[in-house]
């Protein structure tokens, strides 16, 4: 198992979730919870979508999870996860070995989605919330290599800025 979360400009690849399988689905009144055979849990609203094979948001076979009977959804989501992508736009995409994909789309911001590591919230639609034992590694999109430069320093609190000036150099 890869023990890193790979960060790109617009998404995180949650590599530690790859290979995990859903062991149980708890159907609640307004959300469902996917319990995994790993320390991860996913909670999502019933507006989450499933699609066989296609990633296209306009695929005619892409429907809300309520389109299928719960027994069929449990069968579909029982395959191992081959790809887990958390988008910085607030979307989530899980790819399963059987070819099915589960989405929480940024086109539907009202649909809740959260990812837990144990009891700790790791991700919600606003982004990564808590650091886990898995390091987040930024990757250069052109080379695919980890970015090893330190982050830019934050702006000092004591900068003397004249906000009333029209001069852009103030």
- Residue 158 reports pLDDT greater than 50: yes
For 5-138, give the CATH class. alpha beta
One DSSP character per residue, 49-110 reads EEEES---TT-TT-EEGGGS-HHHHHHHTTSPEEEEEEETTS-EEEEETTSEEEEE-TT-TT
- The band of 1, judged by pLDDT with boundaries at 50, 70 and 90, is very low
Mean pLDDT rounded to a whole number for the chain: 88
Q: CA-based angle 162:167:170, to the nearest 5? A: 40
Task: Enumerate residues 6+ apart whose C-beta is below 8 A from 150.
Answer: none
The domain segmentation of the chain, as residue ranges, is 5-138
């Amino acid at each position: 198992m890869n023990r890193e979360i790979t960060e790109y400009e617009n998404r995180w690849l949650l590599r530690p979730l790859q290979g995990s399988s859903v062991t149980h689905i708890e159907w609640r009144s307004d959300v469902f919870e996917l319990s995994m055979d790993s320390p991860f849990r996913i909670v999502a609203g019933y507006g989450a979508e499933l699609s066989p094979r296609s990633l296209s948001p306009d695929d005619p076979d892409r429907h809300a999870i309520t389109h299928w009977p719960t027994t069929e959804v449990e069968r579909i989501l029982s395959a191992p996860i081959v790809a887990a992508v958390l988008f910085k736009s607030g979307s989530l995409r899980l790819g399963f070995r059987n070819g099915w994909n589960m989405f929480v789309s940024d086109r539907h911001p009202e649909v809740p989605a959260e990812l837990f590591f144990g009891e700790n919230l790791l991700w919600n639609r606003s982004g990564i919330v808590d650091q886990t034992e898995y390091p987040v590694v930024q990757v250069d999109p052109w080379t695919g290599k980890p970015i090893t430069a330190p982050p830019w320093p934050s702006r000092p609190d004591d900068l003397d800025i004249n906000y009333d000036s029209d001069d852009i150099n103030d």
